[in-house]
Amino acid sequence: MNATLKAVVLWAVLLIVIALAWNFATIEKKETPLRFSEFMERVEGGRVQDVTIAGDEIRGRGIDGYRFRTYAPAGYDRYVETLLARKVAVAVERNQTPAWAAMLISWAPFILLIGFWVFSMRQMQSRADRADRLRQISGGGDLTERTRIAETINTLFVATDARDWGRVRDVFAGQVLFDMTSLAGGEASQMTPEAIATAWETGLASIERVHHQTGNLSIGCSATEAAASCYGIAYHYRRTKSGRNTRVFVGSYDFHLRRVDTAWRIDVFRFNSKFVDGNLELEKEPPA
């Protein structure tokens, strides 16, 4: 579940809980709690119009429309005779909800609201912890190691332009989370260095020249891992009969690297496309 969907679900749950809480609060307000002795005084005074009895609970309405709720002493039912004598309409609910269950139901929205609040706080703390960890990774690192990380990333692009697929394989870790979904759609996948190099070699086979230009490189590292990003432009050139010889990809790259012995290896590669321009059918064009 992505972050947007999670946020929508959480807000929907919150709105439902608030609506339930309001509904129960409104119901509670309609029936004013009344002491049993006061209830009997109202009955004797002819001010009670009808009641509904559910076990020890008594809900009723006065002749002025006043709604109330009270409870009879446990095991005491002689008040019913008084009700009947005073011509009070009496209804009995046989399937009584236990008092503890009724209380639980009435408090359920508030319990859910508290639970939702606790869940939200935990989520916020979790995101804060991840942000702190990312800041720790991206905020510093030894200058020598940062230089080595930059060399690893630069080697990837230079070796790709030179079609030196052995060097391309060398900059990757044994398994790489490879993400080109901003261009091709689908989902990111785990790939080996061999699979990545083979895919690029096949895809660029008909392209005469490839040129990558990168900039705004940002690196942060700890002793064993690093996060890096940069802007990037990739040019593809192939002489065609139409004269539309180039294609350009513009975007940015995100990397995660792990230290393997004394070298840095890329284990996450992600391209974030901004736009693609030029001849999108460059490989299919008749050659010049």
Report whether 152 contacts 167 (CB < 8 A). Answer: no
Q: Is residue 193, in this structure, part of any structural domain at all?
A: yes
Judgement on whether residues 99 and 151 belong to the same structural domain of the protein:
no
Q: How far apart are CA 254 and CA 271, in angstroms?
A: 7
Q: Which one of 76, 104, 132 terminates a domain?
A: 104
Residues 257-263 have a mean pLDDT of 93
Judgement on whether residues 171 and 79 belong to the same structural domain of the protein:
no
What local confidence, expressed as pLDDT, does residue 97 receive? 57
Name the pLDDT band for 141 (thresholds 50, 70, 90).
low
Judgement on whether residues 78 and 178 belong to the same structural domain of the protein:
no
Note the pLDDT tens digit of each residue in 150-191. 999 999 999 999 999 999 999 999 999 999 999 989 999 999
Three-state DSSP class for residue 148: helix
Residue 20 belongs to domain spanning:
3-104
Structural tokens at position 96: 């009584």
pLDDT at 93 over 90: no
Judgement on whether residues 91 and 172 belong to the same structural domain of the protein:
no
Lowest mean pLDDT among 77-86, 106-115, 183-192: 106-115
Structural tokens at position 150: 């930059």
Name the pLDDT band for 262 (thresholds 50, 70, 90).
confident
Residue carrying structure tokens 């891992």? 225
CATH value at residue 221? 3.10.450.50
Q: How far apart are CA 201 and CA 105, in angstroms?
A: 65
pLDDT at 28 over 80: no
Structurally, the chain folds into a number of domains equal to: 2
Q: How far apart are CA 105 and CA 79, in angstroms?
A: 28
Lowest mean pLDDT among 38-47, 101-110, 132-141, 247-256: 132-141
Residues 78-101 have a mean pLDDT of 82
Q: Is residue 125, in this structure, part of any structural domain at all?
A: no
State the pTM of this model.
0.53
Q: How far apart are CA 238 and CA 26, in angstroms?
A: 74
Percentage of residues of the chain with pLDDT beyond 70: 81
What local confidence, expressed as pLDDT, does residue 279 receive? 95
Residues 53-61 have a mean pLDDT of 91
Judgement on whether residues 169 and 274 belong to the same structural domain of the protein:
yes
Name the pLDDT band for 23 (thresholds 50, 70, 90).
low
Q: Is residue 122, in this structure, part of any structural domain at all?
A: no
10 Å CB burial of residue 215 (0-12, 13-18, 19+) is exposed
pLDDT at 99 over 90: no
pLDDT at 229 over 90: yes
CATH value at residue 69? 3.30.720.210
Judgement on whether residues 147 and 257 belong to the same structural domain of the protein:
yes
What local confidence, expressed as pLDDT, does residue 121 receive? 80
Residues 88-98 have a mean pLDDT of 78
Q: Which one of 104, 130, 160 terminates a domain?
A: 104
Candidates 250, 242, 245; CA nearest to 275 is 250
The listed range with the strongest mean pLDDT (7-11, 90-94, 118-122) is: 90-94
Residues 274-286 have a mean pLDDT of 94
Judgement on whether residues 184 and 267 belong to the same structural domain of the protein:
yes
Task: Find the DSSP H helices in 31-86.
Answer: 36-44, 79-85
Candidates 270, 265, 252; CA nearest to 213 is 252
